[in-house]
């Protein structure tokens, strides 16, 4: 099992995320764009997740080595993003964002599926591999904050381009030669999607990721308005992911005593609380620290459960499509919706009400999950061996 090759890809993929997401809004504001335009750029980036993962999943059916697709996608992503070094016109930025994010977003669900395939029945090892993605995020989000504080935001596109180039180089170390394709048969994907618990699951994923729209697009801008430097902003983001890492290490033991359903519900409840803290207590350093520690729940624990539920619901030939749908519906449609709404409300209503709206979306997700997600068989995944520690 190629532990370090898999871990290396996650490291550099999420290193690019750490260089990109916390500072994109700050960069756009620094070159003169308003909150609504920032929201549109984030919405385009999230919106490509609606179709990109599914297209790559469809193409992968004809490949014995799915890593070739990942390598092509990572190469196109870095070439496209490098155009931002020379482009500051808003239409040009949108075009670069669309092309880059299409291929950048397409590759991760495919790589998740490749990782789970390579692990076979050892899916409990997933958390130890995915952990390196969080390490990569922390390294770049903290390092980028320091560098940008020293050199200025003008150098930010170059920094992200270098991170994207490393994704491509790390992908060259992996292959899937000799992969056995899944035999056709088993439940059709449409019959899976018609199940009430699966519909409820995807609705919960959509709502939680929509609630994160304000966070990803405007949390750094909020911190900047509160007079935090780029270095300090990077430290806040690092704290959130550090809490996530601690969760990844501990959650294997948690699942020995608590069902996936219970972890899901508790993580959503803490998400509601997190957005309310940012909404109304952001001027308190202590409150912001608590809010960032809760990232372990709102992203970490939630994603752990969702990856496992997706792996449980979609088996065999439908596995690639299931992972693609998870990315498309949640991070794509949900992220796009949340980013757009936050962008258009930010200047008019301010941070407090935008993050309050985020907490309301998470509250609806809690209601749906409580009533329909694995309600009648909360211990089913554990007893069947499908409950794995992931993220």
- Residue 131 in any domain: the answer is yes
HSE of 262, CA atoms in CB hemisphere, 13 A: 11
Contact 381, 308 (CB under 8 A): yes
Same domain for 286 and 243: yes
301: which DSSP letter?
Answer: I
- Residue 157 in any domain: the answer is yes
Same domain for 159 and 205: no
Q: What is the pLDDT of residue 58?
A: 85
Same domain for 20 and 118: yes
Q: What is the pLDDT of residue 377?
A: 67
- How would you write the pLDDT of the chain (391 residues) with one tens digit per residue? 788 999 999 999 999 999 999 999 999 999 999 999 999 999 999 999 888 988 888 888 777 788 999 999 999 999 999 999 998 899 999 999 999 999 999 999 889 888 888 887 777 777 788 889 989 999 999 999 999 999 999 999 999 999 999 999 999 999 877 566 555 555 678 889 999 999 999 999 999 999 999 999 999 999 999 999 999 999 999 999 999 889 888 887 887 888 889 999 999 999 999 999 999 999 999 999 999 999 999 998 998 899 889 988 988 778 778 877 888 888 889 999 999 999 999 999 999 999 999 999 999 999 999 999 988 765 555 533 333 333 3
Same domain for 340 and 197: yes
Domain assignment of residue 125, given as a range: 1-178
- Residue 388 in any domain: the answer is no
Let me know the angle formed at the C-alpha of 379 by 311 and 250, rounded to the nearest 5 degrees: 70
Same domain for 192 and 161: no
- Residue 384 in any domain: the answer is no
Q: Which of 245, 350, 230, 236 is nearest to 285 (CA)?
A: 236
Same domain for 300 and 259: yes
- Residue 389 in any domain: the answer is no
- Residue 381 in any domain: the answer is no
Same domain for 163 and 203: no
- Residue 38 in any domain: the answer is yes
Residue 94: Cβ within 10 Å count: 17
Query: What SS3 state is found at 254?
Result: helix
Q: What is the pLDDT of residue 388?
A: 34
CA–CA dist 257, 218 (Å, integer): 37
Among 178, 210, 239, the domain-final residue is 178
Among 130, 146, 178, the domain-final residue is 178
In the chain, how many domains are there? Answer: 2
Contact 171, 74 (CB under 8 A): yes
Contact 88, 31 (CB under 8 A): yes
Q: What is the pLDDT of residue 391?
A: 31
CATH number, domain of 103, equals 1.20.1250.20
Same domain for 273 and 228: yes
> Model's pTM, two decimal places?
0.86
CA–CA dist 315, 295 (Å, integer): 29
- Residue 382 in any domain: the answer is no
């Amino acid at each position: 099992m190629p532990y370090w090759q898999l871990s290396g890809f996650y490291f550099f993929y999420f290193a690019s995320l750490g260089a990109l997401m916390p500072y994109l809004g700050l960069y756009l504001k620094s070159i003169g764009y308003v909150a609504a335009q920032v929201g549109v750029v984030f919405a385009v980036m999230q919106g490509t997740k609606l179709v990109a993962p599914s297209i790559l999943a469809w193409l992968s059916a004809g490949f014995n080595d799915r890593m070739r697709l990942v390598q092509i996608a990572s190469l196109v992503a870095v070439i496209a993003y490098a155009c931002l070094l020379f482009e500051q016109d808003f239409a040009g930025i949108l075009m670069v964002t669309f092309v880059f994010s299409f291929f950048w977003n397409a590759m991760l669900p495919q790589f998740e599926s490749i990782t789970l395939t390579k692990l076979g029945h050892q899916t409990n090892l997933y958390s130890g591999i995915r952990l390196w993605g969080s390490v990569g995020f922390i390294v770049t989000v903290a390092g980028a904050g320091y560098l940008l504080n020293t050199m200025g935001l003008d150098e930010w596109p170059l920094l992200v381009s270098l991170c994207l180039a490393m994704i491509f180089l790390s992908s060259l170390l992996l292959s899937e030669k000799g992969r056995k394709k899944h035999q056709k048969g088993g439940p059709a994907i449409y019959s899976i999607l018609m199940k009430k618990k699966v519909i409820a699951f995807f609705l919960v994923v959509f709502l939680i990721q929509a609630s994160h729209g304000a966070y990803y697009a405007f949390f750094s801008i909020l911190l900047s308005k509160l007079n935090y430097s780029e270095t300090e902003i990077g430290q806040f983001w690092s704290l959130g992911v550090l809490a996530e890492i601690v969760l990844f290490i501990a959650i294997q033991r948690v699942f020995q005593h608590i069902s996936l359903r219970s972890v899901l519900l508790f993580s959503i409840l803490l998400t509601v609380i997190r957005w309310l803290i940012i909404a109304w207590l952001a001027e308190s350093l202590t409150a912001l620290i608590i809010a960032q520690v809760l990232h372990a729940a709102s992203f970490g624990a939630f994603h752990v459960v969702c990856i496992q539920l997706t792996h449980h619901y979609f088996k065999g030939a439908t596995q690639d499509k299931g992972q693609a749908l998870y990315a498309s519906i949640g991070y794509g449609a949900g992220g796009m919706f949340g980013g757009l709404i936050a962008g258009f409300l930010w200047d008019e209503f301010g941070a407090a009400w935008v993050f309050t709206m985020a907490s309301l979306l998470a509250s609806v997700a809690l209601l749906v999950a409580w009533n329909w997600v694995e309600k009648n068989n909360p211990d089913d995944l554990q007893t069947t061996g499908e409950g794995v520690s992931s993220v």
